[in-house]
């Protein structure tokens, strides 16, 4: 097959980790006879610096006309303490999500047996954890009307959801549940919020289409507790944008393998793949960043194209690297630490 | 001193744990020469059953004219799976908060050395944890306009905050920080929400009034992560209603002593004290519920009256009970389990 992949490296360690994912993807393409054309484009602080805009139209054209987007990380400390600055990298992110219609953010949380000790949680609590969040990404309070009244002394945000938006996201969750353990948890705050009541009734209405899936409904506060207590109780979770923001980040620390967690944002035509970690400006340019989350995001990309085998060889290479200690300093535990580039080379060579 | 205390036992195990707190409070009153008049009143499912209303006017009159409210727990399974039922216990809770003006929910999270093993987190991560959340409780999305449009197919919720509401809550946080380690963390989502930007700028504007307090600003998603990773990094946290709902519940599992955690909801005239745990209908009437969280809530009540010594003797009695194994079955670890009433008796005798 032939693919055009938009390559949005972004800020901080983004470019370095993206380089390794490209290397590994090229090795996969070679092995399976695919052809990938990479289309680099600007985003984040890098784009603000270059053209004054975190998600320039030109970048959007490239993404919209590609088969997928591989994304590094964005964010730069110079924007950090000023959330009201007129132009910020996050705005580019939100604009990109909206314009590309990336409505379902998929965040798996799973454990690597060799890394269990890195978790803040006790081993027996997390061993075997394998859950996946489907977070709605293009609606909710992120995109509702917001503003000020009373000379700026009153602020408001509006959370809005349509039945269609809920259905679309929930369907992804139900489909994933059918491929997995047929367990789905809808996370809401239906005892307080009207949007949550719409979520709940919409999902309840879909249950009959998936009679094999066992659906539970839990309040967001209860899930925030139980995720830490009994992460193994969960399998597929679906939720709205803001709850998903908080809970997926919370879930990411459970496994102890946060630096290895990939993600996908599924769109109506094009989808995006990115590591869940940030741009770590402190580590930028030092050849020390762990590229595995980005490499595993490339695996999700292949799987999303229906290329399961291609995804599998990447996952196997990563597992082998972990088993053989071919890891960056964050995982080296006093052993030899490889550079970002060296880990990438090793993974590509082991495809 | 003389006090009138409204006594809202509520549902499930509420009445049993409240009984023990009354017993212990009476012992404290006796020891220090105070006089407490208890004013029982209906709330929750119990009130719905009796008078069709979860927070009847009569109950409100009693609360509003008392010096404090001691609250058990509310909630009954018959209301659980129907968040759109016309009358629900939670509505009583929200009405009570609003009508009594309970604007600051105070939720300490601390560890009992003898219970560290109960935590899902590793001991070295939590040892020494001592943080306290100030959650805004009478505004935000809980009380903003909400409803449906498009024949019910679109739902919305509005999150609204005024500068005054933020200031009032933040002041409680700053004051607590001054009594503690002079560290305050404002939790918001100022990169996305206008209400959060109001929170942040309001708190920033108050910094000069408390020059000794070191204030940090963190996004809610980052805090959801870091609370599990490094709970010891936090001291006083302030936040809005919905974020507080999620984060205080998440924080409650950290210490492993969830069944022992008290809380206070401070109002403009009267304040309320309650355990953070729920009504556990399964345990109701069995004399097995742990009364310590409610007893410690009574300690917070005395402290809130400025009666520090009175609070201290209660805390000491609880610590002694834990050390000597005078505990209910949830903490018995195969040793002897005492009944709810017996733990209450023991604590009262040890005041
Ligand atoms: C940067 C921020 C706007 C963004 C969000 O809240 O969605 C981030 O936290 C994320 O989860 O991708
Ligand atoms: C029952 C519910 C409405 C309530 C809330 O969300 O405030 C509860 O979760 C709490 O934290 O006291």
pLDDT at A87: 82
Residue A193 with chain B: CB contacts under 8 Å = 141, 146, 157
Which ligand has the shortest distance to the CA of B75?
A: 2
Find the helix packing angle between A220-229 and B241-252, rounded to 10°. Answer: 20
CB B331 within 8 A of CB B117: no
User: Which ligand is nearest to the Cα of residue B105, counting in written order?
Assistant: 2
Task: Give yes or no for residue A90 CB within 6 A of ligand 1.
Answer: yes
Predicted local distance difference test score (pLDDT) of residue B312: 98
Model confidence at A90: pLDDT above 90: no
| Two tokens, residue A262 | 């990939």
CATH class (in words) of the domain with range A103-258: alpha beta
B192 CB less than 6 Å from ligand 1? yes
C-alpha B98 – ligand 2 centre gap (Å): 13
DSSP B136-163: E-SSGGGTS-EEEEGGGTEEEEEEEEEH
Tell me what pLDDT residue B89 has: 84
**For residue B62, what are the contacts with CB-CB under 8 A and spacing of at least 6?**
B6, B39, B41
Give the per-residue pLDDT at B77. Answer: 80
Structure tokens at B252: 């409650």
Segment of A83-92, A113-122, A178-187, B327-336 carrying the highest mean pLDDT: A178-187
State the distance from the centre of ligand 2 to the C-alpha of A254, rounded, in angstroms.
25
> Can you give the pLDDT at residue A83?
65
Q: How many CB atoms lie within 10 A of CB A323?
A: 11
Q: Whole-number mean pLDDT of chain A?
A: 95
Beta partners for residue B185, in sequence order: B216, B237
Same fold across B1-101+268-351 and B111-260: yes
Best A74, A82, A140, A158 residue to mutate vs chain B (most B CBs within 10 Å) = A158
Listed in sequence order, the residues at least 6 apart from A316 whose beta carbon sits closer than 8 Å to its beta carbon are none
Nearest CA in chain B to A126: B120
Nearest-CA residue for ligand 2 atom 4 is: B90
| Planar angle of CA B41, B273, B189, nearest 5 degrees | 125
Q: Do B351 and B28 touch, CB atoms closer than 8 A? A: yes
**Is B247 close to A224, i.e. CB distance below 8 A?**
yes
CA atoms within 13 A on the CB side of B146: 20
**Separation CA A18–CA A15 (nearest Å):** 5
DSSP B7-29: EEEESTTHHHHHHHHHHHHHHHH
Helix axes A340-349, A14-32, angle to 10 degrees: 10
**What's the pLDDT at A33?**
98
Interface test with A, best of B148, B194, B200 (most A CBs within 10 A): B194
DSSP secondary structure string, A294-348?
HHHHHHHHHHHTT-HHHHHHHHHHHHHHHHTT---GGG-TTS----HHHHHHHHH
Q: Which of B90, B94, B102, B139 to mutate to test the pocket of ligand 2 (most atoms within 8 A of CB)?
A: B90
Residue A115's nearest CA partner among A107, A127, A125, A133 is A127
DSSP A205: H
Query: Residue A79: which pLDDT band, with cuts at 50, 70 and 90?
Result: confident
CATH fold group of domain A1-101+268-351: Isopropylmalate Dehydrogenase (3.40.718)
Count of Cβ atoms closer than 10 Å to residue A297 Cβ: 25
Q: How many CB atoms lie within 10 A of CB A57?
A: 10
Beta-strand relationship, A2-10 and A35-40? parallel
Q: How many angstroms separate the CA atoms of B266 and B136, rounded?
A: 10
Chain A residues touching residue B220 (CB < 8 angstroms): 245-246
Token reading at A350: 């082991």
Of B155, B149, B67, B142, nearest in space to B103 by CA: B142
Q: Which residues of B touch A74 (CB under 8 A)?
A: none
Compute the nearest-CA separation of B191 from chain A (Å): 5
Mean pLDDT of successive 10-residue stretches along chain B, which has 351 residues = 97 97 98 98 93 96 98 85 74 94 97 91 96 98 97 98 98 98 97 96 98 97 96 98 97 89 96 95 96 98 98 97 95 93 98 96
Q: Is B93 in the pocket of ligand 2 (CB under 6 A)?
A: yes
* pLDDT recorded at residue A34: 98
Which residues of A are annotated as catalytic? 142, 189, 221, 245, 249
pLDDT 10s digits, A188-235? 999 999 999 999 999 999 999 999 999 999 999 999 999 999 999 999
Nearest CA in chain A to B156: A160
Span A15-29, average pLDDT:
98
pLDDT of residue B81: 61
Contact between A120 and B220 using a beta-carbon 8 Å cutoff = no
Which chain B residues touch A250 with a CB distance below 8 Å?
224-225, 227-228, 250
| Mean pLDDT, residues A316-335 taken together | 94
Tell me the domain boundaries of chain B. 1-101+268-351, 111-260
Using a 10 angstrom Cβ sphere, with 0-12 exposed, 13-18 middle and 19 or more buried, the burial of residue A150 is exposed
pTM of the model: 0.96
Catalytic residue numbers of B read 142, 189, 221, 245, 249
Q: Contact at 8 Å (CB) between A169 and A244? A: no
Task: Check CB contact under 8 Å for A158 and B156.
Answer: yes
Name the closest ligand to CA B138: 2
Alpha-carbon separation of residue B41 from B36, B38, B72, B273 (angstroms): 16, 10, 11, 15
Spatial distance between the Cα atoms of A315 and B220, rounded to a whole number of angstroms: 32
- Which residue has the least CA distance to atom 2 on ligand 2? B90
CA distance A229 to A298: 31
CA A245 – ligand 1 centroid, Å: 6
Average pLDDT on A50-75 reads 96
**Tell me: the pLDDT tens digits for A248-257?**
999 999 988 8
Q: Cβ B122–A125 below 8 Å, yes or no?
A: no
For residue A155, what is the nearest residue in chain B, using CA coordinates? B195
Per-residue confidence (pLDDT) for residue A259, from 0 to 100: 84
Q: Which of A55, A93, A139 to mutate to test the pocket of ligand 1 (most atoms within 8 A of CB)?
A: A93
Is the CB of residue A154 less than 8 Å from the CB of residue B158? no
> Is residue B26 within 6 Å of ligand 2 at its C-beta?
no
B315 is in an annotated binding site: no
The CA distance from A39 to the nearest CA of chain B, in Å, is: 29
Q: Smallest Cβ distance to B245: which of A200, A221, A252?
A: A221
Token pair, residue A232, equals 């193994």
Using the predicted structure, report yes or no on whether residue A80 has a pLDDT greater than 70: no
CATH classification number, B111-260, choose in 3.40.30.10, 3.30.420.300, 3.40.718.10, 3.40.50.12780: 3.40.718.10
Quick one: closest CA in B to A246, which residue?
Answer: B221
Give A74→chain B minimum CA distance, Å: 14
Evaluate if residue A84 carries a pLDDT over 90: no
B105 CB neighbour count, 10 Å cutoff: 25
Q: What is the CA radius of gyration of chain B?
A: 20
Query: Cβ B221–A245 below 8 Å, yes or no?
Result: yes
Among the residue ranges A91-95, A132-136, B23-27, B310-314, the one predicted with the least confidence is A91-95
CB contact under 8 A, A250 and B224: yes
Chain centroid to Cα A47, Å, comes to: 21
The three-point CA angle A237-A239-A240 to 5° equals: 165
Using a CB-CB distance cutoff of 8 angstroms, which residues of chain A are in contact with residue B90?
191-192
> Can you tell me the distance from the alpha carbon of B331 to that of B318, in angstroms, rounded to the nearest whole number?
13
Q: Which of A165, A203, A225, A330 to mutate to test the interface with B (most CBs of B within 10 A)?
A: A225
């Amino acid at each position: 097959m032939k693919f055009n992949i938009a390559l949005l490296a972004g800020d901080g360690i983004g470019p370095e980790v993206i380089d390794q994912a490209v290397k590994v993807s090229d090795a996969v393409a070679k092995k399976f006879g695919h052809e990938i054309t990479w289309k680099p484009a600007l985003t984040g602080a890098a784009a603000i610096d270059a053209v004054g805009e975190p998600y320039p139209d030109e970048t959007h054209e490239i993404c919209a006309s590609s088969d997928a987007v591989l994304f590094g990380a964005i964010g730069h400390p110079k924007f950090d303490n000023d959330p009201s600055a007129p132009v910020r990298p996050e705005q580019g992110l939100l604009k990109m999500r909206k314009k590309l219609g990336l409505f379902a953010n998929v965040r798996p949380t799973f454990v690597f047996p060799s890394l269990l000790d890195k978790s803040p949680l006790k081993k027996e609590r997390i061993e075997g954890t394998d859950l996946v969040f489907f977070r709605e990404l293009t609606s909710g309070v992120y995109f509702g009307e917001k503003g000020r009244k009373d000379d700026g002394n009153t602020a408001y945000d509006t959370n809005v959801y349509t039945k269609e938006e809920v259905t679309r996201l929930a369907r992804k969750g139900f489909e994933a549940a059918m491929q997995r353990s047929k367990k789905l948890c809808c996370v809401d705050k239906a005892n307080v919020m009207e949007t949550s009541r719409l979520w709940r009734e919409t999902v309840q209405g879909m249950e009959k289409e998936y009679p094999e899936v066992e659906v539970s409904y839990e309040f967001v506060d209860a899930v925030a507790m139980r995720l830490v207590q009994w992460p193994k109780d969960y399998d597929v979770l679906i939720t709205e944008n803001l709850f998903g923001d908080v809970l997926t980040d919370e879930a990411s620390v459970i496994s102890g393998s946060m630096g290895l967690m990939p993600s996908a944002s599924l769109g109506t035509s094009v989808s995006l793949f990115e590591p869940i970690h940030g741009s770590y400006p402190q580590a930028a340019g030092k050849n020390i960043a762990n590229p595995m989350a980005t490499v595993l995001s490339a695996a999700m990309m292949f799987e999303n194209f229906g290329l399961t085998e291609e995804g599998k060889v990447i996952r196997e290479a990563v597992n082998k690297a972990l088993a053989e200690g071919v890891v960056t300093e964050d995982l080296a535990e006093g052993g030899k630490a490889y550079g970002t580039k060296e880990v990438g080379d090793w993974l590509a060579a082991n495809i």
